[in-house]
Amino acid sequence: MPDRSVVVITGASAGVGRATAKAFAENGFNVALLARGQAGLEAASKDVTDAGARALSIRTDVSQFVEVDAAATKVEEELGPIDVWVNNAMTTVFAPSWDTKPTDFQRAVEVTFLGQVWGTQAALARMRSRDRGNIVNVGSALAFVGIPLQGAYCSSKFACRGFFESTRAELLHEGSHVHLTMVHLPAVNTPQFDWCETTLDRHPQPVAPIYQPEVPAKYILQAALDGRRSKTLGSWNKMLVFTDTLFPGFGNQYAALAAWDGQLTDQPLQNDRPSNLHEPADAERDFGAHGIFDSRAGGFMDPSFLRTLPGTAGVFAQALGRTVAEKRRLTATKRRARAARTRS
């Protein structure tokens, strides 16, 4: 077998990480798979080897720097120097912030945010001395606009974006040829909705438009190869982020109107539903890359989303109207306050 580049992918046993591992294997990389679930890791390793690449699976809790750093050492000993590191691992809690247990909130932040920090630090400890390598941190549209029921996840992704900006500036300052990239994902059909911790009585779902995990996997691979600064996936997400920039507070209004019930199906939550927050859900059962929403997920022009576009546009317009009204109320309050100070 010819020499191949080496990629490390965290959260590689399912979902976007699983699809990304396959994409890299098919494009000339040997793949190190980091995750907690043994069954998921074994199946992901088979995906990689079936694509003609070498696979190295390492059970790793990314919230623990010691485990991440040890995994990096093992990768370089067995596969060779790390060329690309993809920080993808995440977990979340579907619940209002006031119903989220402190220990659950902490765990979600430690995996989703600190997991990216530890992965980046482990990669940089090896890449900076060689002055080469690409690190791809997986972000989200929710790193720009927070939505209800996902306070722990949104907080983590906002923090990930801040860490990315700071660390990238440091690399630029020292003239490093190590590239740091962030790819912001849309809603994706992954098993996280089957196993995320939740306090609610209905099964969680991604907010349309929903994409298959192979879509972000393609762009994560592309970002690793071209070293771009960042990429936000999905025209709808780009529009939402842009509108919130033009009209601060719009994202809050839109999320309040659309994102609570939009994240919940009509299906009651099953009592025997697994949770992967504190323990891996795929330790004994492989969940694969896809979740249960295959019929509603697709590429960038998903027909199921196009059918919902009129209703979505209506909510968009309503949220924009509320934002403008809120701005007007604030302006009127400021004017009254200035007038009162003038009279006094």
The single residue of 153, 211, 219, 254 carrying the catalytic annotation is 153
What is the residue-wise DSSP string for 247-267?
A: STTHHHHHHHHHTTGGGEEEE
Closest C-alpha to 108, from 59, 69, 142:
142
The answer to which of 112-116, 175-179, 205-209, 272-276 has the lowest mean pLDDT is 205-209
The C-alpha atoms of residue 154 and residue 233 are separated, in whole angstroms, by: 17
3-state secondary structure of 274: coil
Please check the confidence at residue 197 and state whether its pLDDT lies above 70.
yes
- Edge-first strand listing for the sheet containing 297-298: 187-188, 210-211, 297-298
Query: Who's near 285: CB < 8 A, 6+ residues apart?
Result: 39
Q: Give per-residue pLDDT as tens, 107-161.
A: 999 999 999 999 999 999 999 999 999 999 999 999 999 999 999 999 999 999 9
Give Cα separations from 174 to 127, 170, 307 (angstroms).
14, 7, 50
H/E stretch holding 231 reads: strand 230-232
Active-site annotation holds for 153: yes
Q: Give per-residue pLDDT as tens, 301-321.
A: 444 455 555 566 667 677 677
Give 93's strand partners. Answer: 197
What's the pTM value of the predicted model, to 2 decimals?
0.89
* CB-CB contact of 72 with 122 (8 Å): yes
Tokens at residue 101, please?
A: 């247990």
* CB-CB contact of 175 with 130 (8 Å): no
